[in-house]
Amino acid sequence: MSLLQSVIMGIVQGLTEFLPVSSSGHLVLFGSILGIETDTGIVFEVMLHIGTLVSIVFVFYKDILQMITGFFGMGLDIIRGRGLELKKSPHRVMVLMVIAASIPTGIMGILFNDFFEIAFSSVRVVSVTLMITGTLLYIANKIKPGLKGPADMKISDALIVGVFQGLSITPGISRSGSTIFAGLTRGFTRELATRFSFIMSIPAILGAAVLELAKYYDRATFTDGLTISLAGMLAAAVAGTIAIRFLVEMLKKGKLHYFSYYCWLVGAGSLIAGLFMGI
């Protein structure tokens, strides 16, 4: 892989990871229809994951720092016998909600891993799921935002959003789009639905990177040089930061449906192209 290819893949990963258009779905379509080689080596893939994590931390660093403080604060309060005292800190609530949301995501990823791998080889599946993503985004844009803030979240809210995050492992189902949709159906404000969607992705992205390494540790081929991998990571981080800020602005303006048109167009176009090409 050349340095330019590494940067291009990093940009694509960063943009599609956070814009509600499904990064995995685009990788499948690029690989199957355009004949682009997507097997880039485990090290490079993990570095791209790290790049997207960097972008989340960069944009939401204040929330993440307060959540880390809240996490250790809860531990100290438990040791001192004071209880969790959640009402005093919305960020403590967020910590518990992220943990709760990660449970169904992890379970679904483990139980349905074989199904997800089969889906990665099917352009038709990705085409249909992209159109499903478009429909979710269109509906989400029509949902009147609720009044729930971080302190008002319940475990049931987090579990449901976590289930949608688990479903997004299917290529073509956007993680950000589906979790924002789920949050809005639970009465979240647009700001909370967006913030929770991105912050809760941190354990999921970390878990995906660890699973990739664990799955292929005995036969992983470290084919990518350090410079090429770092270039891809940096490109993913920059593109991811831009994508997050852009999506936040689009949500504030109530223009999430623009992405639904894109998903419908790409999904229908790739389905037709796949039928003609026999894939």
Give yes or no for a contact between 235 and 10, defined as CB atoms under 8 angstroms apart: yes
pLDDT, tens digit (0-9, with 9 covering 90-100), for 112-163: 766 666 666 667 888 889 999 999 999 999 998 888 988 889 999 999 999 9
pLDDT at 208 (0 to 100): 73
Which residues form the domain of 113? Answer: 3-277
Bridge partners, 148 (sequence order) = 188
Q: pTM of the full predicted structure?
A: 0.83
- Separation CA 99–CA 115 (nearest Å): 25
Give yes or no for a contact between 240 and 15, defined as CB atoms under 8 angstroms apart: yes
| Residue ranges in the chain modelled with pLDDT below 70 | 1, 24, 26-43, 83-88, 113-122, 211-225, 274, 277-279
pLDDT at 198 (0 to 100): 93
Give yes or no for a contact between 10 and 231, defined as CB atoms under 8 angstroms apart: yes
- Separation CA 62–CA 60 (nearest Å): 6
pLDDT at 13 (0 to 100): 83
What total of structural domains would you count in the chain? 1
pLDDT at 125 (0 to 100): 81
Neighbours of 46 (CB within 10 A): 18
- Residue 197's region, left for phi above 0, alpha for psi from -120 to 50, else beta, is alpha
